[in-house]
Chain A
Amino acid sequence: MAFTRREGVRALLWLSPWLVGIAIFFVYPLASTVYFSFYRYDLFTLEFIGLDNWRYAFSDPRLLQSGLNTLWLVVFMVPAQVLFALGVAQLLTKIKSGSGILRTLFYLPSLVPTVAGTVAFVYLLNPATGPVNQALSWIGITGPDWFGSAAWAKPSLTLLALWGAGNTVMIFLAALLDVPKHLYEAAAIDGAGAWRQFRNITLPVISPVLMFSAVTGVIYAVQYFTQAMIASRVASGATDSAGTSFTPGYPDGSLLTLPQHLFQTGFRDWSMGLACVYALILFAVSMVFTLVLLRQFSRAEATS
């Protein structure tokens, strides 16, 4: 026990910079966010207003809209990305010749800087002269307005997410290649077809990896900011530098996500108290999914 206590002191010493960091950048701001949520604050005047910010927040149609948009991303974009990545990874395990080149090819787009990739997609999908709609017109299809229409803006971002799914593909590929070969051989002898092998062997073995990537995918969807902001900005042709006004979410608020609404409220309209209310709502949402992940980790630690 004395040994453990000595290790405890040493651990504390080694962890101290990080513990200070947690206090400054995690615990203090979280407490402070709760405090400011009861105040009106615009950098100059601080005024206690009780629950007014909270009351306003729950009657704010843009909060509801941004919440629903974030929900859309969680329900459609994340599963689409996971399923797509799983399919591509599964295909890569089957292909013998040229799989190295294919791997590089599928992985590279995920390295393209987020802003650059988004700007490029707005160009590729622009309704007037964009290559995608032209290619569609060759086969007699009139392409949609993509980033210009409220109905198609989020599906367009989903396409961008699939294009950048190379990271997840690599993770799944590693997991698939880790599945013991003899399991498949045994199943083949028992006469199990490809689908049954996938369902009864592959899926159970790689399910922790799938689960991990689904949960982190959801957490990133909750934080979704850059792609939506850039797509709105470039598609609408707005600038947001000194003094010019740009309201995120174009077209028709269809790309407004919770983090953008918070940013706009706090750092463009300088309603910092109200932004703190949005921050706490965002915190609650992300905490739900973080808890799912934490439970999974505790279980994994317990078994290892």
Chain B
Amino acid sequence: MRRRRGLVWIAQHAIAIALSLMFLGPVVFIVLTALMTDEQALTSRLWPDQWNWGNFAEVIARSELLTWTANTFMYASLATIFMLASSIPAAYALSRFRFRGSKVAFLVVISAMMLPPQVVAVPIYLVWARLGLTDSLWPLILPMLFGDAFSIFLLRQFLITIPRDYTDAARVDGCSDLRILFTIILPMARPAIAAVALFSFFYCWNDYYGPLLYAGVDQEGWTLSLGLATFKAFHSVQWNLTMAATLLVTAPVIVVFLFAQKVFIEGVTLTGVKG
């Protein structure tokens, strides 16, 4: 019996190590390639002959990477701030008020969340074109003023777990909705709010479809995703530079994660809640 348990232990750890290598392997090769010289990146030798740290500087000098970073940062932070301002009140209403149609409203939230963005793309594009806002990132930022279905859904799932007694007691004491939201709900919902803010920021940071549709052809207005997608084409065979650019785009995300690990894991777990 003990023997058998030992074998299971070994098997489990062997699989865990193999999986770790599988998850880590791509990262190792990307880093190694990013540090190769142009000539070596064309060969099949995997370990850099000499460490070419200048690749990163070269990527920054030869592309609009800094402009793209600034654009992406503006897009992600404005969209996230607008999303919070519009989605928290909606989630508050869906979780606190008993009214006819509340169930329907929640089902509409889920349907909107599941709608592929491409389905409604043509008419919405035409509206932005008429307003003269295509060739900018505003068509991606401004809609966030009207609530984001995924964020409303997540916030609502969290807010319904706050016992009604708290808010009912405050209401009996004559508190307004606004005061209840700011003094009771917001402090208690801090983990959920942090999670949706992070998710929204990362969604925008990674978004490719949205900027592809709206950012236009001028590289000055691009985001990191757009820039990186065409990077390989402009630096045709230079895999080393492409990998260096890939790392530069990824690094900020990883740094943020390492500082806010707990918020992430809690938030991800929240998305798995099934009502």
Contact = CB atoms under 8 A, between A and B. Distances in A.
Interface of A: 4, 7-8, 10-12, 14-15, 17-18, 20-22, 24-26, 28-30, 32-33, 36, 43, 88, 91, 94-95, 102-109, 111-116, 119-121, 123-124, 126, 128-129, 131, 134, 163, 166-167, 170-172, 174-175, 208-209, 211-213, 216, 219, 222-223, 225-226, 229-230, 233-234, 237-242, 259, 262-263, 266-267, 272, 275-276, 279-280, 282-283, 286, 289-290, 293-294, 296-298, 300-301, 304
B249 A115 contact: yes
5 contacts: A7-B97, A121-B26, A226-B208, A263-B118, A272-B122
A108 to B, nearest CB: 7
Contacts of A36: 122-123
Contact of A276 (B29, B122, B213, B230): B122
Contact of A113 (B103, B205, B230): B205
A131 B105 contact: no
Max chain B C-beta neighbours (<10 A), residue from A7, A14, A109, A296? A14
Contacts of A14: 89-90, 92-93, 97, 177
A241 B219 CA distance: 9
Contacts of B274: 208-209, 211-212, 296-297, 300
A230 B119 contact: no
Q: How large is the interface on B (under 10, 10 to 19, 20 to 34, 35 or more residues)?
A: 35 or more
Given A17-B147, A91-B12, A233-B233, A120 B30 contact: yes
Contacts of B183: none
Nearest to B269: A174
Nearest to B111: A290
Given A28-B123, A279-B120, A7 B99 contact: yes
**Top 4 A-B pairs, shortest CB-CB distance:** A21-B146, A171-B272, A29-B120, A18-B147
Contacts, number: 287
A11 B90 CA distance: 8
A58 B215 CA distance: 32
B129 to A, nearest CB: 7
Interface of A is mostly: helix
Nearest to B267: A170
Contacts of B264: 107, 111
Nearest to B146: A21
A175 to B, nearest CB: 6
B23 interface: yes
B16 A102 contact: yes
B30 A113 contact: no
A15 B147 CA distance: 9
Max chain A C-beta neighbours (<10 A), residue from B12, B89, B112, B230? B230
B86 A17 contact: yes
Contacts of B265: 103, 107, 170
Contacts of A212: 272, 274
Given A113-B206, A167-B268, A4 B99 contact: yes
B44 A134 contact: yes
A88 to B, nearest CB: 6
Contact of B86 (A21, A225, A297): A21
Interface stretch (B48-56, B59-67, B235-243): B235-243
B110 A112 contact: no
A179 B234 CA distance: 52
A285 B147 CA distance: 25
A95 B11 CA distance: 11
Contact of B233 (A21, A238, A242): A238
Contacts of B97: 7-8, 10-11, 14
A42 to B, nearest CB: 12
A300 B243 CA distance: 46
B70 interface: no
B99 A11 contact: yes
A43 B128 CA distance: 12
B228 A262 contact: no
B114 A219 contact: yes
A186 to B, nearest CB: 20
Contact of B43 (A20, A26, A129): A129
B98 A7 contact: yes
Interface string B81-112: 00000110110111001111111011110111
Nearest to B72: A113
A279 to B, nearest CB: 5
